[in-house]
Amino acid sequence: MTTPTKHKKLIAWVDEITQLTKPEKVEWCDGSQAEYDKMIKIMLDEKLATPLKRPNCYLFRSDPSDVARVENRTYIASKNKEDAGPTNNWIDPNELKKTMTGLYDGCMEGRTMYVIPFSMGPIGSNIAKIGVEITDSPYVVSNMHLMTRVGTKVLEVLGDSGEFIPCLHSVGKPLQAGEKDNGKWPCAPLDKKYISHFPEERTIWSYGSGYGGNALLGKKCLALRIASVAARDEGWLAEHMLILSITNPQGKKKYVAAAFPSACGKTNLAMLIPTIPGWKVETVGDDIAWMKFGQDGRLYAINPEAGFFGVAPGTSLDSNYNAMKSIEKNSIFTNVALTEDKDVWWEGIGYKAPGKLIDWLGNEWEEGKSDKPAAHPNARFTAPASQCPAVAPEWEDPKGVPIDAILFGGRRPSTIPLVHQARDWNHGVFIGSIVGSEITAAALDLQAGTIRRDPFAMLPFCGYNMGDYFQHWINIGKKEGAKLPKIFFVNWFRKKDGKFIWPGYGENSRVLKWVFEQADGTGKFQDTAIGLMPTVDAIDRPEGVSEADMKDILSVDKEGWLKEIDDIRKNHYPKFGNKLPKELSVALDVLENRLKG
């Protein structure tokens, strides 16, 4: 195949990696349907894919050692350790490159090396970035087709000298002459897996994993870890946030970005179906937001992705109708269970397992007869965003959409109210910096009720020192002429007598309505010690929630907040040392004084 570009730097890099990894052949990806079909056929022939009864859908089973992001094998290799900060794994970049170059030497023998030019964001958008991923995995090529914009059009925008982010990936499983994968998922052992980021060079090297965010390098690696560094240097925001639009009965539309730690209902909120008459919610993105200032001083956001890479277990027509509709065709499923009639099944899908299944490990499984789940808890679907019934018509607008409100949230059974609003930008940054979710003893080897802090829901994804990241957010608020979004904290997870007080899901539209009204200057609110809160009658009550319940979840738990402050002061903020912005220490003191005053 002839090289489809005259970009000297790109051609030189591809040649260098070809000589290092020694593939059998090299193919440049053009992003066509024929190419996608070819990748699927290769994997069907290798017995790595199973065709499903859903049109153009396929099931994959990964190796049990390769089922999720591996945070302890994910590295930020900045030149100075302090630049990686206390929340990242750091290795000296020269040492890491030496180790990984040794692993890459000959690692693609017997395989095809694919060169994937891809755009994160609508092709040609001034908010978008171009990456090029080199991989030896047809599974990665097919998933990148769904998750990003791939191919010839990207090379046209890149031109002969445009900037691109080099992303190198190998499954780390060379093949001997005549050897095939033959149904065995290719990857390297856990201690040979590396997901490495070189922030100063804007380079990503991944080795040994063929799964998800470890291998689809446009996702968390580029769109968050490397993009967050670029955003700091260039004056914008790369965030782990969904983007939705909400339209009131009068046709007025506002845009909301929201950051939640995992298992807090992010995708469900992005695709929410409102329970209040006349209101509409549409999806712009379910996972990542890139926000840049427009000429009018507002922050405009794009979803840099083109698809959804969603967790399957727990997704049902009740919990997320729009996600279920998005995966009816043209989708890839990984580590879910297979029914006898070649459909997919997982725990929480909304109906019992129909007869005997083949579980995610390839074994027979019957409901009630096995103590192990049929689908892996992190089983995934990959689907084009364009198939979502609720996708916003402007979701691919290269200008982005103007953000009116930013939400933070976490899973907190007590203390944190249903919703409260920051008084100003710095107070909002403070709220984002203390995000946490309560964990059970079963979830991690920690005491039940422990708060796992996940500032801005960016803990595994910030590509530099988190203290500097907080400072960057504060600096964004100082930009001259900026018309900044209002910032809120939401918590759908308050409990009483072990049961959730707020019903969640579609009923969360009632909270979004108040957020809309606050952004519009028409909401009913009261000033409290922790920020602005709705009056008890400001949010329409859903069925089953009494006035007493509303008072409970919209009250300030003074004792709980003082304990919260104590935990932040003793266990959370000290991690950031002298990198913690003084504005956040001041905000903590102000909160304490207001609660005690």
Active site residues: 264
Torsions phi, psi for 448 (to 5 deg):
-55, 140
User: Residue 218 in contact with residue 255, Cβ under 8 Å?
Assistant: no
User: Which phi and psi angles does 426 have, rounded to 5°?
Assistant: -65, -35
Tell me, what DSSP letter sits at residue 219?
Answer: I
- Residues β-bridged to residue 488: 407, 421
Kindly state the tokens that stand for 145. 């087709």
Q: Give the count of alpha carbons within 13 A of 174, CB side only.
A: 14
CA distance 204 to 193: 14
Structure token digits, residue 512? 């979004």
* Residue whose token pair is 């958008």: 125
CB atoms near residue 97 (< 10 Å): 18
From the centroid of its chain, how far is CA 591?
31
Residue indicated by tokens 């095939």: 180
Helix 466-476 vs helix 425-433: crossing angle, to nearest 10: 160
Q: Which residues of 436-457 are buried (b: 16+ CB within 10 A; e: fewer)?
A: bbbbeeeeeeeeeebbbbbbbb
What distance lies between CA 571 and its chain's CA centroid? 26
What residues contact 560, with CB distance under 8 A and at least 6 apart?
414, 415
Spell out the alpha helix ranges (H) of 8-116.
Answer: 8-21, 33-45, 81-84, 93-104
Sequence letter at residue 256: V
Return the ∠ at Cα 121 (arms to 116 and 123), rounded to 5°: 70
d(CA 290, CA 323): 22
Residue 213 CA, distance from chain mean position: 9
Q: Which of 347, 71, 317, 96 is nearest to 209 (CA)?
A: 71
227 contacts 290 by C-beta, under 8 angstroms: yes
DSSP code at position 143: H
Give 109-155 as a DSSP string: TTSEEEEEEEEESSTT-TT-EEEEEEES-HHHHHHHHHHSEESHHHH
Angstrom distance (rounded) from CA 571 to CA 533: 27
Query: What is the C-alpha separation between 167 and 205, in angstroms, rounded?
Result: 6
Structure tokens given for 90:
């750091």
Q: Which two tokens stand for residue 465?
A: 């020192």
Which residue pairs from 15-18 have beta carbons closer than 8 angstroms and sit at least 24 positions apart in sequence? 17/104, 17/113, 17/134, 17/168, 18/113
